[in-house]
Amino acid sequence: MTRKNYALWGLPEEVHFCKKCVISNQRPNSTVEMKNRNLEKQTIAFNDQGICSACEYAETKKDTNWKEREDLLFELLEPYRSKDGSYDVLVPSSGGKDSAFQAHILKYKYKMNPLAITWAPNMFTRAGWLNFNNLSRIGGVDSFLYTPNGKLHSYLTKLAFTNLGHPFQPFIHGQKIVGPKLAEKFGIKLIMYGENQAEYGNPIENNSNPFMEPTFFTIDDPKEMILGGHTVSETIENTGFTFEEFQPYIPPKPESLIEKDIKVTYLGYFEKWDPQECYYYAVDNTGFMPSYERSIGTYSRYTEIDDKIVPFHFYMTYIKFGIGRATYDSAQEVRNKKITRAEATYLIKKFDGEFPERYVDEFCKYLGISLEKFHETVDSFRSPHLWEKVSNKWHLKHHVNNYELKDR
């Protein structure tokens, strides 16, 4: 007999909220999804005091000697510094505020010659296209837009939405592997990402080393790589797409990066990472513009505003994990002392789980599905331990403000 409140995706059946920020124990950690068909993921860890690992990591940043880390970065960069004007560091860029900060500071503070590489969004927003161009036009950073086969990419996005409830997966994959892939092609020996995932709840030990393991963005057998819940071989067999058309998605082999001595690091190990401060820096130095409207599902206008798929990504995290965009944003701002936990709970109550009405017709057209199919797919990813239907309407069972009242 099936239990009424069983949990899907390997999520904890009991829901708890961090006593410092507002994140719940349902938040999945980042994984190498191209190697994992299983929908189950590890979730954020809580200590015995009910504090999440992201908050614990935020505390360690207070005790870090950031001047020493800055000096260490200058020292690390020196052997890679170009003597002939060629590019000496590759920056995978989303076109957003964080990567604008990242590329600009590497050029003007650390005196490197970066090339910013952007995996093209599924559907550029007006602000996203403007900010992509402003990084070069105003920020003075050379940039490269890598645009994969749109027909294949929309198909993979449809697979990811239908099979995983994760329409952003193909884009995230592309953005993750495009740096090592093109560094190998252009002969650039250093790749610099932005923040480490320990900022959001991945194990703190992930941030103990400035270099990232090649297994994070390499694969041995590209035909066994998983996108949208299917291997490349399965998708080729079931469609008219060819292996050649998958080439933009194929990461390097691990031995290739090792043989060519390509190193991958992240700026967040050396510079204290604060997304709001990245925004202010990008506005002042690269002409970064916030969105013309409040971002769907949250209260801000400057975070992840490049792609019209983004609101559907966060809408699905709300459906699958009970964690929407306002929760992600406010939890981080609580950790960075920008807002209080009480302010965060108010913002979550007001904005979390907002339906992406603004783009839903475009989204369905992009995937080639009806609105009815869209809602049917969304509802198939609701876990019984998180959702209940009352008077023919879905209701989320657990809310951070409810738990805050219990803690008083």
- Which residue has tokens 């910013």? 116
Q: Assign domain 66-269 to a CATH class.
A: alpha beta
- What pLDDT is stored for residue 205 in this prediction? 75
Q: Residue 335 corresponds to which amino acid? A: R
Count the Cβ atoms, other than its own, within 10 Å of residue 396. Answer: 16
- What pLDDT is stored for residue 170 in this prediction? 95
Q: What is the pLDDT along the chain (408 residues), one digit of tens a residue?
A: 345 678 988 899 999 999 999 999 999 988 778 887 766 788 999 999 999 999 999 999 999 999 999 999 999 999 999 999 999 999 999 889 999 999 999 999 999 999 999 999 999 999 999 999 999 999 999 999 999 999 999 999 999 999 999 999 999 999 999 999 999 989 999 999 998 878 888 887 777 788 988 878 888 899 999 999 999 999 999 999 999 999 999 999 889 899 999 999 999 999 999 999 999 999 999 999 999 999 999 999 999 999 999 999 999 999 999 999 999 999 999 999 999 999 999 999 999 999 999 999 999 999 999 999 999 999 999 999 999 999 999 999 999 975 544 443
Q: Is beta strand 226-227 parallel, antiparallel or unpaired with respect to 387-390?
A: unpaired
Instruction: Report pTM.
Output: 0.95
- What pLDDT is stored for residue 403 in this prediction? 54
163-201 burial, b if ≥16 CB within 10 A, otherwise e? ebbbbbbbbbbbbbbbbbbbbbeeebebbbbbbbbbbbb
End-to-end CA distance of the chain: 38
Q: For the chain, give the secondary structure using H, E and C.
A: CCCCCCCCCCCCCCCCECCCCCCECCCECCCCHHHCCCCCCCECCECCCCCEHHHHHHHHHHCCCHHHHHHHHHHHHHHHCCCCCCCCEEEEECCCHHHHHHHHHHHHCCCCCEEEEEECCCCECHHHHHHHHHHHHCCCCEEEEECCCHHHHHHHHHHHHHHHCCCCHHHHHHHHHHHHHHHHHHCCCEEEECCCHHHCCCCHHHHCCCECCHHHCCCCCHHHCEECCEEHHHHHHHCCCCCHHHHHHCCCCHHHHHHCCCEEEEHHHCCCCCHHHHHHHHHHHHCCCCCCCCCCCCCCCCCCCCECCHHHHHHHHHHHHCCCHHHHHHHHHHHCCCCCHHHHHHHHHHHCCCCCHHHHHHHHHHHCCCHHHHHHHHHHCCCCCCEEEECCEEEECCCHHHHHHHHC
- What pLDDT is stored for residue 33 in this prediction? 82
Phi, psi dihedral angles at 116 (to 5 degrees): -90, 125
